[in-house]
Chains A and B, each alone.
Chain A
């Protein structure tokens, strides 16, 4: 029983580590900021998830509640990671990054005016960019 648990635990940790490694490789190989973010989310989800699951097998759900805490870490990670990813991708798009496409054509949808309904926040940012945004390098 203990041996089976050890094997299961280490299998989870090793596979999780492999996904983190793939995530890092993807971060290097992908062509632009958006595709790189897709690669980064590998480590966020299955990478972190499998490592924490392996650690839960190590710790057990015993009286010291370490397993519960590990699972809580995973839950909060899964809640917060998409928020950061979303904020990063939107910031990149608003800053004028054009998504890379395989055939070099522009993407079929963007955040340009006319493509979306009026949005005060986006309007504010456009005004900021048009005005040269005091203190900006470009």
Chain B
């Protein structure tokens, strides 16, 4: 099932990148290369809920616009710090992460790092070590808005998908 999903999305990506719609030889070669990529992924044992996260794809798309808005806001805050370095109050602190699966924690940690002004350095159980340019960013993260949204993206966690599982 994961193999089929991966093949379909890889082939769609190939069609988008190549722009060939009619020549059967090229279409066949595209299908062959997508199949080869799926085979390699299977050999690497990457064909699981993490390698092919179809289950959360739609909720991820709903999450991105909010994340983009946050990125723009924190970009402006960091730009202000660059123009006036006296403003910065760097802090390093633990922030709770309520996600249950590895994938959910990666989404949260990557979101933290992607917004300028905060970097996720380490994940330890249910918490993330964050370095922040302005101390207030840590308090914002601890308020948990982004944490809740990432947990919602993660959705229901099946058995074998929890932290440390394979």
Contacts and interface: CB of A to CB of B under 8 A. Distances in A.
7 contacts: A26-B82, A45-B71, A45-B115, A49-B71, A69-B17, A86-B121, A93-B122
A37 B119 contact: yes
A85 B72 CA distance: 18
Contacts, number: 124
Interface in B104-153: 109-110, 113-122, 124-125, 129, 131, 133
A69 B74 CA distance: 27
B44 interface: no
A78 B17 CA distance: 19
B122 A116 contact: yes
Contacts of B133: 35, 38
Label chain B's interface by main secondary structure. mixed
Interface of A: 19, 22-23, 25-26, 29-32, 34-35, 37-39, 41-42, 44-46, 49, 63-65, 68-69, 72, 78-79, 81-83, 85-86, 89-90, 93, 99-102, 107-111, 116-117, 119
A101 B114 contact: no
Contacts of A19: 75, 79
B129 A100 contact: no
Interface residues of B, number: 37
Contact of B78 (A42, A82, A93): A42
Given A29-B82, A45-B71, A86 B114 contact: no
Given A82-B110, A85-B113, 15 more contacts: A22-B79, A30-B85, A32-B90, A34-B92, A35-B90, A37-B119, A38-B78, A38-B117, A41-B119, A49-B71, A72-B17, A86-B121, A99-B90, A102-B90, A116-B129
